[in-house]
């Protein structure tokens, strides 16, 4: 039996995405509270992300959404990490800009500690991709498009996307 490298690379991309999910899930979380939601998208759903990113670019004038959409087109799949942001009741924190969690909730604020947990999970995920030599880049623009499309189907308030690629040159850097 002969397997071509492209077939193997596509299969391994799924494996690495799974390992990234494990790394993100097991990343440290404040007070042990896990509000992380993880998805992978490819094919039609990935195309929907690209379309939404282009729509945002046109409607907002933020052209980096268009630039990032071109990157997502080149990706085999995209890992989405979102956070159900909820105040964690950390005493004397105030990182959210409010005196306490009750004030945060009253003013519909976002818990900085909870959002920080998302950042740690993202870092663990991309470290895993890099360890396996899979090209990747963290993109706010993908997360925004995913939130607009309600892909998470949960109360996710903050999200990032990580496109993945195996090719001769990383398509996510040296962007114009």
**What is the rounded distance in angstroms from the CA atom of residue 82 to the CA atom of residue 137?**
16
User: In the sheet that 158-165 helps form, which strands lie side by side, from edge to edge?
Assistant: 36-41, 77-83, 158-165, 135-136
Percent residues over pLDDT 90 in the chain: 92
Q: Which fold has domain 5-86+115-165?
A: NADH Oxidase (3.40.109)
**Residue 79 · residue 161 · CB < 8 Å:** yes
- pTM for the model stands at 0.94
pLDDT at residue number 96 = 95
Residue recorded with tokens 């950042």: 119
Characterize 128-162 residue by residue with b for buried, 16 or more Cβ atoms within 10 angstroms of its Cβ, and e for exposed: bbeebebbbbbbebbbbbbbeeebbeeebbbbbbb
pLDDT at residue number 175 = 65
pLDDT in tens, 81-120: 999 999 999 988 999 999 999 999 999 999 999 999 999 9
Burial of 6 (0-12, 13-18, 19+ CB in 10 A): exposed
What is the residue extent of each domain of the chain? 5-86+115-165
Q: Assess whether pLDDT exceeds 90 at residue 135.
A: yes
């Amino acid at each position: 039996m002969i397997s071509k490298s492209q077939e193997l690379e596509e299969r391994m991309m799924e494996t690495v995405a799974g390992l990234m999910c494990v790394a993100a899930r097991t990343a440290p979380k404040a007070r042990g509270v896990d509000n992380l939601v993880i998805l992978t998208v490819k094919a039609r759903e990935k195309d929907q992300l690209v379309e939404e990113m282009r729509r945002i670019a046109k409607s907002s004038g933020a052209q980096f959404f268009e630039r990032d959409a071109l990157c997502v087109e080149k990706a085999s799949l995209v890992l989405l990490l979102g956070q159900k942001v909820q105040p964690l009741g950390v005493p004397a924190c105030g990182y959210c800009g409010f005196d306490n969690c009750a004030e945060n909730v009253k003013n519909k604020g976002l818990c900085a500690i909870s959002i920080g947990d998302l950042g740690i999970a993202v870092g663990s995920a991309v470290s895993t991709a890099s360890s396996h030599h899979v090209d990747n880049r963290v993109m706010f623009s993908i997360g925004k498009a995913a939130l607009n499309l309600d892909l998470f189907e949960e109360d996710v308030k903050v999200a990032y996307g990580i496109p993945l690629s195996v090719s001769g040159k990383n398509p996510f850097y040296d962007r114009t």
